[in-house]
Amino acid sequence: MSPETTAAQAAHRPPKGPACRSLSDLDPGVRARLCHHSEHPVPTRLRDLGFVPDTTLMVLRQAPLGDPLEVEIRGYRVCLRRADIAALCVVPVAQ
Amino acid sequence: MSASAALSDPIETLHIALVGSPNSGKTTLFNALTGSRAKVGNYPGVTVERREGEVRDVAVPIRLLDLPGTYSLDPETPDEEVVREVLAGERANEPVPDALVVVIDGTTLARGLGLVAQVLQARRPTAIVVTMIDEVRARGGRLDLGKLSRILGVPVMGVVGHRGVGVADVRGLLERARRWATPAEPPPVDDHEARFAWVDRVAADVGGFSPARDKRTDRIDRVLLHPLGGIPIFAGVMVLLFQSIFSWAVPAMDWIDGAFGALGGLSRSVLPAGLLTDLWVDGVLAGVGSVLVFLPQIVIVFTLIHLLEDVGYMARAAFVVDRVMGWVGLQGRCFVALLSSYACAIPGIMAARAVASPRDRLATILIAPFMTCSARLPVYTLLIAAFVPAERVLGPLGLQGLVMLGLYLMGALTALGSAALLKSTLLRGKVATFYLELPPYRIPTARLLFTQVWRSSRSFIKRAGTLIVVASIILWALLSFPRIPVDASLSQGAQAQAQLQASAAARIGHALEPVIEPLGFDWKIGVGLLASLAAREVMVATLAQIYAVGDADNFEGLRHALANDRDPQTGERSFTLASALALLVFFVFALQCMSTVVVMARETGSWRWPALAFGYMLALAYGGSFVTYRLATAFL
């Protein structure tokens, strides 16, 4: 990812502390919680699938070519592209 | 009033609609209830399939409408818009359903409840059917369906659709649909946070979160989706698929070919010689045989594709290749449709329905005919055998095999290039959110697999019985009329040649010659090209008729006749390596298949897209052949 996009995304992030990061950067196997994120609206389709604030989720794996990611949320799994979930902000939670 | 009209009295018939997300088991339940006898059509004005059927073994007449799969009633795709409109009673000519059945997958209860919340908002008599309850139990989950029913205030029932467990109870439930409760207080839906807070509460109450992850699926995925091993495994599965098209089908194809040859021979020996016998043998039998010979390939390819789909690997394949498809603006799901197109573009185009984004779906439909379908195979085989020397190039690799591989690659690369072109011009727009589910691995039932393969193969048999028969008869007539008087001084072969020269087809071919001469084609190829507009495989049968080698299945004779044909005036070979390569390139690009054009029109809901595809592919074919012929003449 280029430095500009990282900076642009950082500017959109609410002051939640350094632990907050984009879902697309979350390591597989780390449980995390979706933050409230008012400046970057989450796509309707993702909200229909249950991606709403305070939900815990986990990246299970990435495809062999690096994209998309398989995410577990609300007891089921869905594969999403990094570009589509880059706007989602998460905080890792203790297991 | 007739008896049948009295039976379908509109006051008596119950109209019930099935609502559910893709992969919820909705269509399996529909098939179990209706006995797979669905009336399939299209919703007018949109390219969305409409399926309706009569529920079997019930005391009251019930018409069941299988609404398209939807994740939500906030529509993002045309399919979902149709669902919203039907539920809201805004769809013209579609009666508002008397009652609704929401089908949800018990293993992904929380997501299903999101949709349930929205449907309950419609305040119609509603019931919930929870599928895959066997899998929930196998994974140690305990769903309290009675409690779910009490919380929602509507009937709830569990089924195992593909094994038929609980389906009889659902029939009884449907009979009572008029007495279903409408929930007093629908759940909150307007705000996603409130909706999912409700979902989480309900799911926790009924034990919806308890099923452990499927351990077997996890173990298999660790191997099949391994960061390093995943790609070789994917490649291996694809090699197996192609191996099956080229090797396993051959004995059965030879058998069908031989059977039609023998039937032709038998007909000639039994029937009196004459025009009608010619029509039967050269027109009907040769035409039908030229299509049915592909049936083994089609059956094998569909069996493997449906098997991979039912087992759960197809979704993994889409997961693995999604990134590559993303480079040309497509997505993983398009891959499955393109893969089917190697057997035939028609099932490929139909498989594109699974692509949720309308733009991606349209792009997939338009590029599917570039994939090397089995109808191109006989043309490739004949021309390569006749004109490409059987030399070894690199170890075990022969030149003929390399040319064949090159043609396949050329088709695939053109498809991907055209997708990139389409997605950056006509189909440009915001990239739709991609989502894909990896279902748990399942052992498929033989019955379901057989039904699917039969359904896919049936359309081929129909095609052989209709379009190809008509095309073959027209072609035969063009090649046989007008008749010239029999000249006793000529040999039988010379008489046939004279008849051919005088035929309507020859005149058309000669008229075409100025257009195709720059590509290195003579009038005979012109007639073949024209005939193959109906279907590519007609080319071989046409050449067989033109070169008068007798049986259309006599491959060796035809190969020899093609390689040694000379222009009667100049004595030069009328067919060279350069013109053969040009003809191969023409077949790589051109959309010579009426069935594909018709299916494209049906699936896109307009003749605009097939017309565009036809013109685009013809221009590529003409240009490609021209360049190939010039280059080959200059360098070979």
Q: What does the pLDDT read at residue B243?
A: 76
Number of domains in chain A: 1
- Determine contact, residues A42/A87, Cβ cutoff 8 Å: yes
CATH architecture of the domain with range B10-212: 3-Layer(aba) Sandwich (3.40)
B390 to chain A, any CB pair closer than 8 A? The answer is no
The pTM of the full predicted model, rounded to 2 decimals, is: 0.80
Residues 6+ apart with CB under 8 A from B585: B410, B621, B624, B625, B628
Q: Are B323 and A55 a contacting pair at CB < 8 A?
A: no
Q: To which residue do tokens 């020899």 refer? A: B560
**Residue range B40-62, pLDDT digits in tens:** 776 766 667 788 899 988 888 99
Residue, of B214 and B376, whose pLDDT is higher: B376
Query: Which chain A positions have a beta carbon within 8 Å of B228's beta carbon?
Result: 64
B112 to chain A, any CB pair closer than 8 A? The answer is no
A45 to chain B, any CB pair closer than 8 A? The answer is yes
At A95, is the pLDDT very low, low, confident or very high (cuts 50, 70, 90)?
Answer: low
Q: What does the pLDDT read at residue B20?
A: 93
pLDDT of B333 higher than 90: no
CA distance B249 to B259: 15
pLDDT of B574 higher than 70: yes
- Determine contact, residues B529/B586, Cβ cutoff 8 Å: yes
A66 to chain B, any CB pair closer than 8 A? The answer is yes
- Determine contact, residues B326/B333, Cβ cutoff 8 Å: no
Cis ω before B68 (30° cut-off from 0): no
A93 to chain B, any CB pair closer than 8 A? The answer is no
User: Could you tell me the CATH number of the domain that includes residue A23?
Assistant: 2.30.30.90
pLDDT (average), residues B72-88:
86
Nearest-Cα residue of chain A relative to residue B204? A74
pLDDT of B552 higher than 50: no
Nearest-Cα residue of chain A relative to residue B208? A75
Residue B512, CA distances (Å) to B201, B422, B436, B592 in order: 73, 32, 50, 17
Residue, of B143 and B42, whose pLDDT is higher: B143
A82 to chain B, any CB pair closer than 8 A? The answer is no
Q: Are B230 and A64 a contacting pair at CB < 8 A?
A: yes
Give residue limits of the domains in chain B.
10-212
Q: Are B332 and A55 a contacting pair at CB < 8 A?
A: no
Q: Which residue out of B433, B436, B438 would a mutagenesis test of the A interface target, given it has the greatest number of A Cβ atoms within 10 Å?
A: B433
- Facing B320 at nearest CB: one of A55, A63, A83: A63
B69 to chain A, any CB pair closer than 8 A? The answer is no
Q: Which of B1-15, B51-65, B318-332, B374-388 has the lowest mean pLDDT?
A: B1-15
For B15, the enclosing helix (H) or strand (E) is: strand B14-20
**Residue range B416-461, pLDDT digits in tens:** 999 999 999 988 877 777 888 888 888 888 888 888 788 778 866 7
A27 to chain B, any CB pair closer than 8 A? The answer is no
Query: Which chain B positions have a beta carbon within 8 Å of A62's beta carbon?
Result: 227
For A92, the enclosing helix (H) or strand (E) is: strand A89-92
pLDDT of B547 higher than 60: yes
> What is the three-state SS of B193-241?
HHHHHHHHHHHHHHCCCCCCCCHHHHHHHHHHCCCCCHHHHHHHHHHHH
**Residue range B245-281, pLDDT digits in tens:** 667 777 888 888 888 888 988 988 898 888 888 888 8
Number of other residues whose CB lies within 10 A of the CB of residue B271: 13
Q: Are B435 and A49 a contacting pair at CB < 8 A?
A: yes
Q: What does the pLDDT read at residue A11?
A: 46
B312 to chain A, any CB pair closer than 8 A? The answer is no
CA distance B437 to A70: 9
pLDDT (average), residues B320-326:
92
**Residue range B601-634, pLDDT digits in tens:** 888 878 999 999 999 999 999 999 999 999 999 9
Distance from CA of A49 to the nearest CA of B (A): 6
pLDDT of B412 higher than 90: yes
B72 to chain A, any CB pair closer than 8 A? The answer is yes
Q: To which residue do tokens 């995390």 refer? A: A32
Task: Walk across the sheet containing A31-34 and list its strands.
Answer: A21-22, A89-92, A31-34, A56-62, A69-73, A76-80, B435-436
A86 to chain B, any CB pair closer than 8 A? The answer is no
Number of other residues whose CB lies within 10 A of the CB of residue B459: 16
**Residue range B15-24, pLDDT digits in tens:** 999 999 887 8
Interface ipTM: 0.81
pLDDT of B466 higher than 90: no
Mean pLDDT, chain B, as a whole number? 84
CA distance B43 to B53: 15
A76 to chain B, any CB pair closer than 8 A? The answer is yes
At B215, is the pLDDT very low, low, confident or very high (cuts 50, 70, 90)?
Answer: confident
User: What residue numbers bound the domain in which A82 lies?
Assistant: 3-92
Distance from CA of A43 to the nearest CA of B (A): 8
B194 to chain A, any CB pair closer than 8 A? The answer is no
Query: What is the CA angle B273-B274-B277, rounded to 5?
Result: 80
Distance from CA of B353 to the nearest CA of A (A): 19
Query: Which chain A positions have a beta carbon within 8 Å of B433's beta carbon?
Result: 43, 45-46, 80, 84
Burial of B93 (0-12, 13-18, 19+ CB in 10 A): exposed
Token pair listed for B291:
């299509």
At B540, is the pLDDT very low, low, confident or very high (cuts 50, 70, 90)?
Answer: confident
Q: Which residue out of A70, A79, A84, A85 would a mutagenesis test of the B interface target, given it has the greatest number of B Cβ atoms within 10 Å?
A: A79
What is the sign, positive or negative, of the torsion defined by CA atoms of B243, B249, B254, B260? Answer: negative
Distance from CA of B319 to the nearest CA of A (A): 6
Distance from CA of B228 to the nearest CA of A (A): 7
What is the sign, positive or negative, of the torsion defined by CA atoms of A40, A46, A50, A56? Answer: negative
**Residue range A28-60, pLDDT digits in tens:** 999 999 887 645 677 788 888 889 888 899 999
- Determine contact, residues B399/B450, Cβ cutoff 8 Å: no
β-sheet bridge partners, residue A34: A90
Distance from CA of B141 to the nearest CA of A (A): 12
Strand blocks (E) in B458-525? none
Alpha helices per DSSP H over B139-214 = 145-152, 167-175, 192-206
CA distance A78 to A59: 10
Q: Are B323 and A75 a contacting pair at CB < 8 A?
A: no
Token pair listed for B100:
């609704």
Q: Are B192 and A47 a contacting pair at CB < 8 A?
A: yes
pLDDT (average), residues B191-204:
89
